A and B are shown apart, each in its own frame.
Chain A
């Protein structure tokens, strides 16, 4: 953009009208106005809300987070009691949401992939069964599925007093599945550290092996080596830690089964419901991904003499991944967001705890703002990770 107004000898200084008729000035001006209107609208909404709350004598602010929560939560992954503050209660809810979402994503991917491949099977029965599974569970609203699983579990299993024991120490009851777990010991912390070290070592060995194969064409038995390193290191840590053997075995005591680890019916209902529902979509994504790779790729691999299993792993799947990852990301996001339906069956997820908090403190707007930002954050994280993964998998164009 030139600056004619600074040119000496310009006979006429520019008037305001000239400026407003300048295309560039106008473009900038319109943008400023647009942003201004958005800010004005936002300011109006916020100030009006505050004004109305003030007028109704409803207190505002996040100060309530430090107050004692005074209610109990059935499932917690961290230390929590009724004496803890609301912030801790919300954190408990968040962790429960993350727990069910992460497990759900892993399980629905596995189950979805199996059914997706099964839908393309050459076996008529397998193909049809997979189709029935997908079409049934995809077309029933997920909330109804949650109700169904939650009604089924207490009805299907016996009262804790007559618990069903399929394996020694494993109890199936209407109040959940109880598993024996090792009593906490320093050895387990040590084993965790060993596992992390092993994973890091495996990562570098794999890098080295790929490099060597690229350079010399010599394949390296990476799978066996990895398993060896992992099991060896963890076992070593266990022995160094003193090889503790004490277990917490669940047993009936008083009203309930005490000890062990309890997988509650609420958690089971939510996990099964979300996994089954989302896995049908994942199955379709996987199927479309595989079908998107042209059959010429199989033939090309065949003509190079590559084994069929290796061709699937090295030729077909990497290409179908490219097609599958973006819609898969959507499904993962859906699962995470659908986990908020857990409140309907009493699983203490973030929404459930926020609802209670909102009700006990009356801070509806604050509580909603917290859980909305948390869901947004979780979804953005998932999407960031999947975008990174997608980029890694994308075709490298030369």
Chain B
């Protein structure tokens, strides 16, 4: 009797726990319940995600997290940040430790299809380059045969590097260090001839971490395509929709010329049906996403549109122009899907 009871209880426990499936909308419900978005960011890449002097996180990747928090909770500051190294990031997302990963992550086939991830948009179009000390006397990446190269492990950068040197029939010696601060320290101490990562990252390292930025040069070759964007775990389509459209709303706002400054005026006065849909004056979009109708208004009011975010973080801090990240109307690649 007793034994049967124990066995039955055991079987029931197993069944009960196994039944705790994530259903569509689970992530969104979880965020509403706990009151904040858990966001995975870089451990320190100025312009993208880095803690400032007051310990506040800022950067173009951080703004994506803030935009989502504004859309879901109505408060851009309801974000908890988890700084992650390149090697830790996907495990953190897969295990559910973070709700969204916004950490200059390149979209690739393997990551999309095999790692159980969904890319929710591209917030920065980038490409891989090389940073060298000027005294090395190198003006092109094709002269790097035999060089020692510092690189972060577990990145597409590491793979592109091997591919590039193999394709050119050149050899190199890699020095792979997981923590970006340790890796750049090794480069600046002369352990490596070359540091390689995405061109934006190189600009960030050069301007913010080098003792004298003028002693270092970024070589002209861009050896890869690096579409960087926010990522969510696969299996909760509602959540990936929220993430995708929160980012697209920032781009759409820039296309319409809606900024954090004029958003209140636009909301009150604009007769443009596109802007009315975006800002919730004519309702429907918020409901479709399972959000408040003021979702996009909150994003623009509290975080700003894409151009503002780029200007504040990337242009001001790293001196990088819009380039590929200009709006499509200006010859760039940023193109918002219509919000309707």
Contact with B along A324-346 (1 / 0, CB 8 A): 00000000000000000001111
B277-294 with Cβ < 8 A to chain A:
none
Chain B nearest CB from A115 CB (Å) reads 30
Residues of chain B within 8 A (CB-CB) of A256 are 146-148, 173, 193
**Cα–Cα distance between A226 and B240 once the two chains are bound (Å):** 73
Q: How large is the interface on B (under 10, 10 to 19, 20 to 34, 35 or more residues)?
A: 35 or more
Q: Is A51 an interface residue (CB 8 A)?
A: yes
Using CB atoms, name the residue of chain A closest to B179. A344
Q: Is the CB of B193 within 8 A of A352?
A: no
Q: Is A165 an interface residue (CB 8 A)?
A: no
Q: Is A71 an interface residue (CB 8 A)?
A: yes
Residues of chain B within 8 A (CB-CB) of A265 are 191
**Among B33-41, B83-91, B259-267, the stretch in contact with A:** B83-91
Known A74-B176, A255-B147, A345-B177; contact A360-B10, beta-carbon cutoff 8 A: no
Q: Is the CB of B174 within 8 A of A73?
A: yes
Q: Is A119 an interface residue (CB 8 A)?
A: no
Q: Is A284 an interface residue (CB 8 A)?
A: no
A247-267 with Cβ < 8 A to chain B:
253-256, 258, 265-266
Chain B nearest CB from A146 CB (Å) reads 11
Q: Is the CB of B162 within 8 A of A70?
A: yes
Residue among A53, A151, A346, A355 with the most chain B CB within 10 A? A346
Q: Is the CB of B6 within 8 A of A33?
A: yes
Q: Is A159 an interface residue (CB 8 A)?
A: yes
Residues of chain B within 8 A (CB-CB) of A344 are 177-179, 182
Q: Is the CB of B94 within 8 A of A364?
A: yes
Q: Is the CB of A72 within 8 A of B162?
A: yes
Q: Is A44 an interface residue (CB 8 A)?
A: yes
Known A48-B17, A56-B94, A359-B153; contact A154-B186, beta-carbon cutoff 8 A: yes
Q: Is A31 an interface residue (CB 8 A)?
A: no
Q: Is the CB of A258 within 8 A of B146?
A: yes
B173-216 with Cβ < 8 A to chain A:
173-179, 182-183, 185-186, 189-191, 193
Q: Is the CB of A58 within 8 A of B94?
A: yes
Q: Is the CB of B18 within 8 A of A82?
A: no
B144-169 with Cβ < 8 A to chain A:
144-148, 153-155, 158-159, 161-163, 166
Known A56-B94, A344-B179; contact A154-B190, beta-carbon cutoff 8 A: yes
Contact partner, A175, options B116, B191, B233, Cβ 8 Å: B191
Q: Is the CB of B235 within 8 A of A74?
A: no
Residues of chain B within 8 A (CB-CB) of A254 are 145-147
Q: Is the CB of B173 within 8 A of A355?
A: no
Q: Is the CB of A29 within 8 A of B178?
A: no
**Cα–Cα distance between A231 and B78 once the two chains are bound (Å):** 74
Q: How large is the interface on A (under 10, 10 to 19, 20 to 34, 35 or more residues)?
A: 35 or more
**Cα–Cα distance between A37 and B148 once the two chains are bound (Å):** 55
Contact with A along B1-29 (1 / 0, CB 8 A): 00100100010001001100110000000
Contact with A along B221-258 (1 / 0, CB 8 A): 00000000000011100000000000000000000000
Residues of chain A within 8 A (CB-CB) of B136 are 255
Contact with B along A150-177 (1 / 0, CB 8 A): 0100110001000000000000001100
**Among B65-73, B107-115, B122-130, the stretch in contact with A:** B107-115
The binding surface of chain A is classed by DSSP as: helix
**Cα–Cα distance between A37 and B3 once the two chains are bound (Å):** 12
Q: Is the CB of B233 within 8 A of A56?
A: yes
Q: Is B328 an interface residue (CB 8 A)?
A: no
Residues of chain B within 8 A (CB-CB) of A44 are 14, 17-18
Residue among B6, B158, B172, B185 with the most chain A CB within 10 A? B158
Chain B nearest CB from A24 CB (Å) reads 16
Q: Is the CB of A55 within 8 A of B90?
A: no
Q: Is A356 an interface residue (CB 8 A)?
A: yes
**Cα–Cα distance between A44 and B12 once the two chains are bound (Å):** 12
Q: Is A361 an interface residue (CB 8 A)?
A: yes
Q: Is A225 an interface residue (CB 8 A)?
A: no
Known A59-B114, A255-B193; contact A48-B18, beta-carbon cutoff 8 A: yes
Chain B nearest CB from A147 CB (Å) reads 8
Residues of chain A within 8 A (CB-CB) of B116 are 53, 56-58, 362
Residues of chain A within 8 A (CB-CB) of B144 are 255
Q: Is A358 an interface residue (CB 8 A)?
A: yes
Residues of chain B within 8 A (CB-CB) of A199 are none
Residues of chain B within 8 A (CB-CB) of A55 are 21-22, 235
Chain B nearest CB from A178 CB (Å) reads 13
Residues of chain B within 8 A (CB-CB) of A29 are 3
Q: Is A348 an interface residue (CB 8 A)?
A: yes
Chain B nearest CB from A73 CB (Å) reads 7
Q: Is A222 an interface residue (CB 8 A)?
A: no
**Cα–Cα distance between A320 and B182 once the two chains are bound (Å):** 44
Chain B nearest CB from A185 CB (Å) reads 24
Q: Is A40 an interface residue (CB 8 A)?
A: yes
Chain B nearest CB from A232 CB (Å) reads 41
Residues of chain A within 8 A (CB-CB) of B113 are 57
Contact with B along A120-151 (1 / 0, CB 8 A): 00000000000000000000000000010001
Chain B nearest CB from A340 CB (Å) reads 13
Residues of chain B within 8 A (CB-CB) of A360 are 110, 154, 158-159
Chain A nearest CB from B183 CB (Å) reads 8
Chain A nearest CB from B99 CB (Å) reads 14
Chain A nearest CB from B235 CB (Å) reads 5
Q: Is the CB of B154 within 8 A of A356?
A: yes
Known A53-B116, A154-B189, A346-B175; contact A40-B10, beta-carbon cutoff 8 A: yes
**Cα–Cα distance between A345 and B113 once the two chains are bound (Å):** 32
**Cα–Cα distance between A73 and B151 once the two chains are bound (Å):** 11
The 9 closest A-B pairs by CB, nearest first: A359-B154, A362-B115, A58-B116, A56-B116, A346-B177, A82-B162, A254-B146, A154-B189, A57-B116
Could you give 15 example pairs across A and B, Cβ below 8 Å?
A: A40-B10, A48-B18, A71-B153, A71-B162, A74-B176, A82-B162, A253-B146, A255-B144, A256-B148, A346-B176, A346-B186, A355-B154, A356-B176, A358-B87, A359-B154
- If A352-B178, A362-B111 are given as contacts, then 11 extra A-B residue pairs at C-beta distance below 8 Å, sorted by A number, are A29-B3, A33-B3, A47-B18, A154-B191, A155-B189, A174-B189, A174-B190, A175-B148, A266-B175, A346-B183, A355-B178
